[in-house]
Amino acid sequence: MSAADNITWHTFDTRQAMVDELTEATCEALLRGMKARGNAAWAVSGGSTPKPLFDAMAEADLVWEDIQIALVDERWVDADHPRSNEAFMRGALEKGRSAEAMFIGMKTADGNVFDAADAVNRRYAQVKQPFDCVLLGLGPDGHTASLFPAAEGLEAAMADDAPVCVALKAQKSEVTGDELERMSLSLSAIATAREVVLRITGDEKKATLERALKEDTHLPIAKVAEKVAIKVYWAP
């Protein structure tokens, strides 16, 4: 099956309509996990794009103390850094009803991200696997999670036998900024999730995804889609 065949499009006229439906779908995925085993795990991405979803989820009527919220990826910066995904996750979800959830970040005291991989995987061993839902984003360079094109560690991160969390060092670009060292869920960890969602907005992100699926099939998002059934939620 091709990468394009693994994509299911959910398109909306407005971003609010997308948030409303994605909130309902995410709650349903977490409820299925709790019904099956008494708890659920949700992996989330940082950045400004998912903020409206997080605001809606923070007030969702769920048994949040039975839900774990973990990061999809992290810049290798401390939690007080303005570009920390953990800080964003906690600021957006450690409030309202969702404040009762268990939050799992990636950053450790290790100065080098590659030195930290074992410790991060030990931390993520407490997260119930597989994830009930993984929320991905997409960069204009075709990266998802922190699986950047030509990054150091990318081949290992895409391997079938990769651990849950993998260390990478991106090549500097306008997309990466100065934070090149990253920790990320591996392709295999994403692939085992019960549901994988890619939330994108705007014509540019849609064009990037369509181009990756049809032409630029070497890009990480295309490689992920080759192995993962992805529900794409898109609005202008």
The residue extents of the domains of the chain are: 4-235
Q: What per-residue confidence (pLDDT) applies to 178?
A: 96
Mean pLDDT across the stretch 118-141? 97
Q: What per-residue confidence (pLDDT) applies to 2?
A: 87
Q: Name the DSSP letter for residue 125.
A: T
pLDDT band at 22 (very low <50, low <70, confident <90, very high): very high
Mean pLDDT across the stretch 186-210? 98
The answer as to CATH 3.40.50.300 being correct for domain 4-235 is no
Mean pLDDT across the stretch 93-98? 97
Q: What does the alpha-carbon distance between residue 222 and residue 214 come to, in Å, rounded to a whole number?
A: 9
Q: How high is the mean pLDDT of the chain? A: 97
Q: Where are the alpha helices (DSSP H) in 14-93?
A: 15-37, 51-57, 85-93
Is the pLDDT reported for residue 182 higher than 90?
yes
Mean pLDDT across the stretch 108-119? 97
pLDDT band at 47 (very low <50, low <70, confident <90, very high): confident
Taking only the tens place, the pLDDT of each residue in 73-88 is: 999 999 999 999 999 9
52-79 burial by CB neighbour count: b if 16+ within 10 A, else e? bbbbbbbebebebebbbbbbbbbbbbee
Percent of the chain with pLDDT over 70: 100
Q: What per-residue confidence (pLDDT) applies to 10?
A: 98
Phi, psi (degrees; rounded to nearest 5) at 94: -85, 55
Is the pLDDT reported for residue 202 higher than 90?
yes
